[in-house]
């Protein structure tokens, strides 16, 4: 088998793994801990209620 044909399934396997590891630009759940952490860093916070990645 050519190296290039072996690479295709490997690449396809790697894509979801890579996608899962991309850091999301938002936190999920645990609102109080999230607010406390931002308060400690003197940062404002946005909370999107009823929003989660599955529904929204």
**Residue numbers at the binding site for other proteins (CB under 8 A):** 22-32, 34-39, 42-53, 56
Q: Pick the closer one to other proteins by CB: 3 or 48.
A: 48
Q: Contact, 43 vs 33, CB < 8 A?
A: no
What's the half-sphere exposure (Cβ side, CA atoms, 13 Å) at 39?
6
Minimum Å distance from CB 3 to other proteins? 33
Location of structure tokens 């072996």: 6
The minimum distance between CB 4 and other proteins, in angstroms, equals 31
Smallest gap from Cβ 21 to other proteins, in A, equals: 12
């Amino acid at each position: 088998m050519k190296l290039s044909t072996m690479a295709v399934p490997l690449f396809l396997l790697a894509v979801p793994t890579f996608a899962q590891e991309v850091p999301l630009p938002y936190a999920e759940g645990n609102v109080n801990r999230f607010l406390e952490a931002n308060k400690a860093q003197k940062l404002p916070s946005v909370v999107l209620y009823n929003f989660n990645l599955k529904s929204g």
